[in-house]
């Protein structure tokens, strides 16, 4: 038979454990009461001795003592032998003289020193057959030795005894009559038992309610976790409180947030990889097809082509090979940036001189379209603290991009201004601008808007092909310097790309003093 589902829950297990503990506690309590109060004897032999043999053996000992000399030594030896026989019963036997003075006791006891003297009249009355040893002769002191005596025998003639044999420390056994005689004590004991039982019941109810509440909270947490593992990554535990279960819920939420972010990142990377493969395939296929076509033309029709046609085919092949080389180089640059292998080497340098150098290198790219390159810099511009090679790469990409998408006879301007202890670098053009739908994507890898594919047909040879990586590389390099590459553009009004570089230390202090 299968185990019910409820029997496997934590609530059932904790409840069963708690009830078992309560049952064992109550059972142990009543067993202890029965063993210590209602059954005071350690063994059946001890009980048999006290109930059936004690009176006879003590009487025999008294008769033996009556026949012994009064030197005390013989009595001590007799008590030694008797003490060995009753050692297991914890009985103490004391010989009292005719005047009530304690003479000798069973070995190991200090009764002779502790008792010293007893009331002879009381001992004489205790030898009577009708004496009730359950009563307390000394009611002023419950712990008095007289209250512990359970048997007294005369030594010698009862009318003129040589002494008395006194036995003490019989285990107390409660019976119904004694319980009735001590009804007040029993009433208090019953009240105590009732209070303890009520406390256990209330504790049990409170414990069960606490277990039910805790189990429900754990069940809700388990349900959320189960839903999360089944694929519902948005599932979260309701937060509140400060106990261990609430802490567990908060830790689960933090873990779920990280896992969801990781899954989203993996999905984004997977989508990016698919897009990357498609874009790379497209960007590689076009120049490779052109190269293949021209190579086939040269191979099959070489003799029928004139010098101009051959030169044009070779120029096309060279241009496509250069484009492939730049594409691969830029992909390697991006891969190094992604892997964190691009180490910056910042130093102080003049951004004005660097900008002039970049514009000179790009002049030949602007000549075919009759475009003008211009540098505008505010006076006394401070030095910057950055990696000059990386900043040159950023400017090169931005200026080439501005030339590529500019109109014939247009202007490309590099503006340098001091802004809030930094130097702002802006590259603007007078081209067609960027469509509003394309603006959010211009820094994405391999992204080229539809207009971008058709508006640079008259550009210089190395600018004819667009890889869609220039702005992505520039953006990553700016981020590596702690900045952000921004763009403003409206269709038909050109575009402006800008970023900030930190001013050098000495110049920064001078700027702060001026401003």
Per-residue pLDDT, 512: 46
Q: What is the dihedral of CA 471, 477, 483, 486, to 10 degrees?
A: 0
* Beta-ladder partners of 509: none
Residuewise pLDDT in 10s, the chain (515 residues): 566 766 666 666 667 777 777 777 777 766 666 555 555 667 788 888 888 898 898 999 889 888 888 777 888 888 888 888 888 888 889 898 888 888 888 876 567 778 878 888 898 899 888 898 888 888 888 788 888 898 999 998 888 888 999 998 877 555 545 545 555 555 676 677 778 777 877 877 887 787 788 878 888 888 888 888 888 888 888 887 777 778 888 888 889 889 988 888 888 777 766 665 665 665 666 677 778 888 888 888 888 888 888 888 888 888 778 767 766 666 666 666 665 656 778 899 999 999 999 999 889 888 888 999 999 999 989 999 999 988 988 898 899 889 988 999 999 999 999 988 899 999 999 998 888 888 877 877 666 654 443 444 455 555 555 556 778 878 888 888 889 999 998 877 889 999 999 998 755 545 444 44
Does residue 412 sit in helix, strand or coil? strand
Q: Contact 337/473 with Cβ under 8 angstroms?
A: yes
* Separation of alpha carbons 356 and 181, rounded Å: 119
Q: Please give the order of strands across the beta sheet that includes 372-377.
A: 372-377, 411-419, 422-429, 495-502, 486-489
Per-residue pLDDT, 40: 66
Q: How far is CA 190 from CA 69, 193, 232, in A?
A: 55, 5, 60
- DSSP output for 278-329: HHHHHHHHHHHHHHHHHHHHHHHHGGGS-HHHHHHHHHHHHHHHHHHHHHHH
Count of CA atoms in the C-beta half-sphere (13 A) of 323: 24
Q: Where are the alpha helices (DSSP H) in 101-237?
A: 111-115, 120-126, 176-181, 183-229
Per-residue pLDDT, 456: 46
Q: Contact 376/359 with Cβ under 8 angstroms?
A: no
Q: Contact 366/411 with Cβ under 8 angstroms?
A: no
Q: What is the dihedral of CA 316, 317, 323, 327, to 10 degrees?
A: 150
Q: Which helix (H) or strand (E) holds 389?
A: helix 388-404
- DSSP output for 188-204: HHHHHHHHHHHHHHHHH
Per-residue pLDDT, 455: 42
Per-residue pLDDT, 112: 72
Per-residue pLDDT, 451: 44
125-132 contacts: CB < 8 A, separation 24 or more? 126/152, 127/152, 127/153, 127/154, 127/158, 127/164
Kindly give the interhelix angle for 388-404 and 470-480, rounded to the nearest 10 degrees: 150
Per-residue pLDDT, 107: 79
Per-residue pLDDT, 495: 92
Per-residue pLDDT, 500: 95
Q: What is the dihedral of CA 391, 395, 397, 400, to 10 degrees?
A: -160
* Separation of alpha carbons 212 and 214, rounded Å: 5
Closest CA relative to residue 204, chosen from 439, 74, 22, 378: 22
């Amino acid at each position: 038979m299968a185990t019910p589902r409820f029997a496997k829950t934590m609530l059932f297990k904790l409840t069963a454990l708690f009830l078992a503990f309560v049952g064992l506690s109550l059972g142990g309590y009543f067993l202890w009461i029965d063993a210590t109060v209602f059954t005071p004897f350690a063994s059946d032999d001890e009980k048999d001795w006290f109930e059936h043999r004690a009176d006879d053996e003590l009487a025999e000992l008294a008769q033996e003592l009556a026949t012994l000399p009064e030197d005390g030594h013989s009595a001590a030896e007799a008590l030694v032998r008797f003490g060995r026989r009753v050692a297991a019963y914890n009985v103490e036997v004391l010989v009292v003289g005719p005047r009530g003075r304690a003479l000798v006791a069973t070995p190991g006891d200090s009764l002779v020193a502790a008792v010293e003297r007893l009331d002879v009249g009381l001992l004489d009355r205790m030898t009577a057959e009708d004496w009730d040893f359950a009563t307390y002769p000394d009611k002023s002191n419950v712990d008095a030795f007289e209250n512990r005596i359970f048997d007294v025998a005369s030594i010698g003639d009862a009318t003129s005894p040589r002494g008395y044999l006194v036995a003490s420390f019989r285990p107390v056994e409660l019976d119904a009559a004694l319980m009735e005689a001590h009804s007040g004590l029993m009433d208090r004991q019953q009240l105590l038992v009732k209070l303890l039982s009520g406390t256990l019941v209330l504790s049990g109810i409170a414990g069960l309610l606490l277990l039910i509440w805790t189990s429900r909270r754990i069940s809700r947490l388990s349900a959320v976790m189960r839903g999360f593992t089944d694929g519902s990554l948005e599932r979260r535990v309701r937060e509140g409180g400060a106990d261990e279960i609430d802490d567990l819920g908060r830790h689960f939420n933090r873990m779920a947030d990280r896992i969801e972010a990781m899954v989203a990142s993996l999905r984004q990377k997977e989508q990016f990889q698919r897009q990357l493969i498609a874009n790379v395939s497209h960007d590689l296929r076009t120049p490779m097809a052109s190269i293949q076509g021209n190579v086939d033309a040269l191979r099959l029709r070489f003799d029928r082509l004139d010098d101009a046609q051959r030169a044009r085919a070779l120029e096309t092949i060279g241009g496509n090979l250069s484009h492939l080389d730049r594409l691969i180089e830029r992909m390697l640059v991006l891969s190094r940036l992604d892997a964190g292998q691009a180490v910056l080497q910042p130093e102080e340098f003049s951004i004005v001189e660097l900008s002039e150098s970049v514009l000179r290198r790009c002049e030949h790219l602007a000549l075919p379209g009759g475009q003008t390159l211009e540098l505008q810099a505010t006076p006394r511009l401070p030095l910057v603290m950055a990696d000059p090679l990386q900043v040159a790469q950023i400017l090169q990409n931005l200026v080439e991009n501005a030339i590529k998408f500019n109109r014939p006879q247009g202007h490309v301007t590099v503006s340098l201004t001091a802004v809030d202890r930094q130097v702002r670098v802006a590259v603007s053009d007078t081209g067609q601008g960027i469509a509003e739908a394309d603006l959010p994507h211009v820094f994405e890898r391999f992204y080229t808007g539809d207009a971008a594919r058709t508006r640079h047909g008259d550009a210089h040879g190395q600018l004819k092909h667009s890889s869609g990586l220039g702005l992505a590389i520039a953006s990553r390099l700016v981020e590596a310097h702690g900045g952000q590459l921004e763009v403003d553009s409206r269709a038909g009004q050109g575009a402006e790309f800008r970023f900030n570089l930190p001013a050098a230390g000495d110049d920064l202090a001078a700027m702060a003093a001026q401003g």
